[in-house]
Chain A
Amino acid sequence: MSPARQAWALARLDLTVWRRTPWAIAAAVIPPLGMAVLVTVLTWSVTRQPVALVVEGGGPQARVMARIIEADREAYKLTVTDLGRARQLLGRQQVAAVIVVPSTFDQDVAHGSASLDLTLNNVDIDFGDDIRRAVDRSVAEFDAPQLGASLERTGAAQGLVVPNAYRVDVAEHDLRHTTVTYARYQAVPVLILLLVNVGVLGGALLGARDHERRTAAFLGTAPMPRWSVMAGRLAGTALAIGVVAVPAVFALRLTHVVEPPRGHWVPFGALLAVTALLSAGIGVLLGSVVRQSATVALVAVTVSSYLFFLGGGFTTIAFLPAWLRTASLAVPTSYAIDAIRQILFYPDLTGVGRDLLALCAFTAATTAGGVYALRRVEP
């Protein structure tokens, strides 16, 4: 039997063993599923904040102010109510802030000294600052409508500057035509996490299983070269990744989460294939070092999570401090996540070739390490 056929036989055997270990499949799929749920929950909470609006003023200026706030649906999840109920809602944490348009608003506007009263539950600055910014914008919109949410990307952006009290008009130009939703931006790297988790855990478990069942000895004495054993294990683990990843990509395509621009499908497929091989290589390496199934799951999940988070799976590496950006250069998944965002969200493929080359280099290094580790551990 040729070494290639031997490797293929081992790959099929590994795939069968993996398929008959439902707990291993569950262990590999649960963290990405958890991450997907997390992203979904976050989309409900990151953009709009619950705010109560109390309009005590009955004049036309008070109504204008109220309409400005009511119209900004991107910033506020608004409850219009009276002051007593608003205070109750604030106390029960049903709203994070209360905005009051006071009864003297119209007179104060006439004197040029009106105020919009904001009572804020400033538990932490993240959402507190979101509300502060939104209220500032609403206030600015009163005297300068072009600074408000409803007139974004109009006026100055189209070369028409209308004088306003703040003496500055914002001319916003967006880099791209479509705005990627928060859910989509964060969900795409979860696909990489799925590949990495199945690959690392699958490869590591197959290796650990060989040691626990002493089948490593058979592999050691089998008349097949080491590279053939490694190729077989890599291929088996990569096939296991394919079993999980192909339906996942299909589902993400149906839900429009994965929607590459024209001509980006081939680099997208190449990226997933190289990432799968890389994950399998890391898994095989781990399996030859950690030889107990019970421990291997914890180690593999931890390694996968570091690969995901330090690779920018939950953040944007470019926005992190310099030392973290430098550290991420040594994290192979940073190239995969960078590339998948470029392929799916940008019209061109700038940097994707470099990312694929880096991934190939990491894959070659882990494969060489795996061959060496197999030489060391087999009797």
Chain B
Amino acid sequence: MASARLELTQLGRSRLLLAFTALEALTFLLLVSLFGLTGSRAPTAVVDEDHGPLAASLVGFLRQAHHSFALRSLSAERARSDLTAGRIVAVITIPPGFSAAVAAGGTVALPVDVDNVDVDLTDDIERAVPSALAAFGRAHGFAGIRVVAAERDLIPHDTGFIPYLVVSALALDALVVAGVLGAVAMTREFEAGTLSQWRLAPVASGWLLAGKLAGAAAVSSAAIGVAAIVVFAGYGIARLHAVTLLLCVAIFTCVGSCVGALLRRSLPVAALFFGLALPLYIDSGALEPERFDGNVIWAIAHASPVYYAVGVLEQAVHGLRVTPEPVSADVAVLVAWAALAAGIASSVVARRAVRS
């Protein structure tokens, strides 16, 4: 308890560190939100030169085409200038006489101008336009359409991309915030040369370490709590699982202590966690179940604790199973990570204290 209180006091004196740690938690939420905002609904101009009922109907089907387009009705000139300036991805022009020709059973060319600077967005457009046309043709009962897709979903509700992302971002937050504070709790002892005093304490160094980590975890929990409130209030995710989040914080504090004990310097800690966090995040099922990316990437993901944390959090919040392994196995591996990390930190500290 005394060690935890001391850690809290020391952290209380580093207000800038605390402020930026909390800011870091919000940074990742912002980052994934920005990513999610551009992950769907490509900004696209519709130039309706027909103004007929079938043109309006086609625009409606483009709007509904699996979250593909953020449609803006523009004039031809404005659409062209926005496209060349990179403000929109594509221009779909419905030519004059479209409704009459289609109603008469003719086939009309639909000009689609694409800024193919990014292959991902270009692919989305190239798939979404035929998808909208297929729905348009079926809805109007055009003769000659012989095949339709009959979809059956494994999960009764769709989960939005951003709600999915922000929950996995909380796992990333826990890694960065708890990891940095756990690591700094250790590096401070090395840099200040106070490890020798651990030998003079009337308790084993493991207890002192546990106290320090408890203090760091308490502060991390507060920072993650701020991020969780943002997710709760800002993103409308009503079911946040506090126990799971606290478990992640505790585990990543232990991982941080291990990193801090091995690095012994504060300077690279933040950069290391930030630098590693993003690839670990992406290779953890944060965007989609990791196994969809192939067995090699999925196998690599098992080396990261974030993979298991995302699995547990997505199950707890959205009820989604994103790892083939059961959630109980994910929890068990996370606990093993914490035990291993704390063990390494404890061993390093004990050895250094004796040398000091």
On A, residues with C-beta under 8 Å from B are 23-24, 26-28, 30-35, 37-38, 41-42, 44-47, 49-50, 65, 74-75, 77, 90, 92-96, 108-109, 112-130, 132-137, 139-143, 147-149, 152, 156, 159, 161-176, 179-182, 185, 201, 205, 290, 293-295, 297-299, 301-302, 305-306, 309, 314-316, 318-321, 324, 341-342, 345-346, 350-351
A112–B148 alpha-carbon span in the complex (Å): 10
Partner of A41, one of B107, B109, B160, B279: B279
CB <8 Å contact, A162 and B107: yes
CB <8 Å contact, B158 and A41: no
CB <8 Å contact, A318 and B86: yes
* B31 at interface, CB cutoff 8 A: yes
| B209 CB to nearest chain A CB (Å) | 20
Q: Which chain B residues border A126 with CB–CB below 8 Å?
A: 39-40, 161, 164, 287-288
Given contacts A119-B152, A123-B320, A175-B114, contact A132 B66 (CB under 8 A): yes
CB <8 Å contact, A319 and B127: no
Q: Which chain B residues border A175 with CB–CB below 8 Å?
A: 83-84, 113-117
CB <8 Å contact, A30 and B275: yes
Q: Which chain B residues border A149 with CB–CB below 8 Å?
A: 126
* B204 at interface, CB cutoff 8 A: no
* Residues B293-321 near A (CB distance < 8 A): 293-295, 297, 320
| A157 CB to nearest chain B CB (Å) | 8
* B142 at interface, CB cutoff 8 A: yes
CB <8 Å contact, B292 and A96: yes
CB <8 Å contact, B34 and A181: no
CB <8 Å contact, B38 and A320: yes
On B, residues with C-beta under 8 Å from A are 14, 16-17, 20-21, 23-24, 27, 30-31, 34-35, 37-40, 42-43, 58, 65-68, 70, 83-89, 101-102, 105-120, 122-124, 126-131, 133-137, 142-155, 158-161, 164, 180, 184, 187-188, 191, 265-272, 274-279, 281-283, 287-289, 291-295, 297, 320, 322-324
| A23 CB to nearest chain B CB (Å) | 5
| B117 CB to nearest chain A CB (Å) | 5
| B89 CB to nearest chain A CB (Å) | 7
CB <8 Å contact, A167 and B114: no
| A21 CB to nearest chain B CB (Å) | 8
| B228 CB to nearest chain A CB (Å) | 20
Q: Which of A116, A175, A201, A320 is most buried by chain B, counting CB atoms within 10 A of its CB? A: A175
Q: Which chain A residues border B127 with CB–CB below 8 Å?
A: 75, 130, 133-134, 136-137
Partner of B37, one of A30, A172, A180, A321: A321
Partner of B43, one of A45, A120, A141, A319: A319
CB <8 Å contact, B158 and A128: yes
Q: Which chain B residues border A172 with CB–CB below 8 Å?
A: 112-114, 126
Q: Which chain A residues border B188 with CB–CB below 8 Å?
A: 294
CB <8 Å contact, B271 and A120: no
Chain A residue at minimal CB-CB distance from B187:
A294
CB <8 Å contact, A115 and B148: yes
A177–B2 alpha-carbon span in the complex (Å): 68
Given contacts A129-B40, A182-B120, contact A350 B145 (CB under 8 A): no
